[in-house]
Amino acid sequence: MSIIFEPNLYVRVVELTNGPAPLPLANGFNTEQAYRVLGLYTASETGEAYLILPNDRDEMWFISNRHIRVQGILPETNLRVALPLR
């Protein structure tokens, strides 16, 4: 199975209360940035999707889709952009 996603998709982190660990806001992400989606991974045994994002420390993280909201399709080439962009 393959999943195709928009290469200029940017998302923001909205951490869920009691959401799945690791908690992204405690690990180098913040609510003032939109992050470029670099990839998508789905573990067949869980069915949960993980977006691959670079955090503010330039580390690659797999973040549960439940912590993510779409910011938009942006013509940016940066890994992160300051919010608000709407």
Strands of 1-86, DSSP E: 9-13, 33-36, 39-42, 49-54, 60-64, 68-73, 80-82
Sheet with 39-42: strands ordered across: 39-42, 49-54, 60-64
pTM of the model: 0.85
pLDDT digits (tens, 9 = 90+) for 43-82: 777 778 899 999 999 999 999 998 999 999 988 788 999 9
First to last CA, the chain: 33
Q: Where are the domains of the chain?
A: 9-75
